[in-house]
C-alpha cells in the first residue's frame, strides 16, 4: 500500500484474488496486468475494446471478455465466477 493514498490497484487485485481463491479454489485465477507492460501485449484485443469504447480504467476481463470498467468489485466478480462455474465455465 502506498502511504496516504489507500490501496493500490495491485493491492485491491490481490485482495480479490485471495477472496475468490478461498471460495472457488483453483477454479478461478485473478491476475493484474499493466497493459503498457510487456505482459500487456498479449491483451491487445482488450486494449482495442478499451479504446473503441473509451472505457475507464481499471478494466476487468473474464475469459477474455470485458466485464467491468472503472471499478474493481469483489461482489461483481464473485457473481460472474459463480455464474460461469455453474454453467461449466463458458459464457
d(CA 11, CA 64): 22
In angstroms, the Cα distances linking 65 to 11, 58, 71 are 23, 14, 16
Q: Which pTM value belongs to this model?
A: 0.80
Residues 8-59 have pLDDT tens digits of 999 999 999 999 999 999 999 999 999 889 998 888 888 888 999 999 999 9
pLDDT value for 43: 85
> How does DSSP classify residue 2?
B
Which of helix, strand or coil describes residue 6? strand
In a domain, 3, yes or no: no
Concatenated DSSP letters of 17-69: HHHHHHHHGGG-------TTSTGGGGGHHHHHHHHHHTPPSSEEEETTEEEEE
Range of the domain at 60: 9-86
Number of domains observed in the structure of the chain: 1
In a domain, 4, yes or no: no
Q: Is the pLDDT of residue 1 over 80?
A: no
- What's the full length of the chain, in residues? 91
In a domain, 19, yes or no: yes
Amino acid at each position: 500500500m502506498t502511504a496516504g493514498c489507500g490501496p493500490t490497484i495491485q493491492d485491491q487485485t490481490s485482495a480479490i484474488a485471495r477472496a475468490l481463491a478461498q471460495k472457488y479454489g483453483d477454479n478461478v485465477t485473478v491476475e493484474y496486468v499493466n497493459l503498457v507492460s510487456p505482459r500487456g501485449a498479449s491483451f491487445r484485443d482488450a486494449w482495442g475494446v478499451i479504446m473503441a469504447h473509451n472505457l475507464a480504467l481499471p478494466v476487468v476481463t473474464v475469459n477474455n471478455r470485458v466485464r467491468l470498467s472503472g471499478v474493481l468489485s469483489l461482489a461483481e466478480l464473485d457473481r460472474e465466477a459463480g455464474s460461469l462455474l455453474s454453467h461449466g465455465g463458458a459464457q
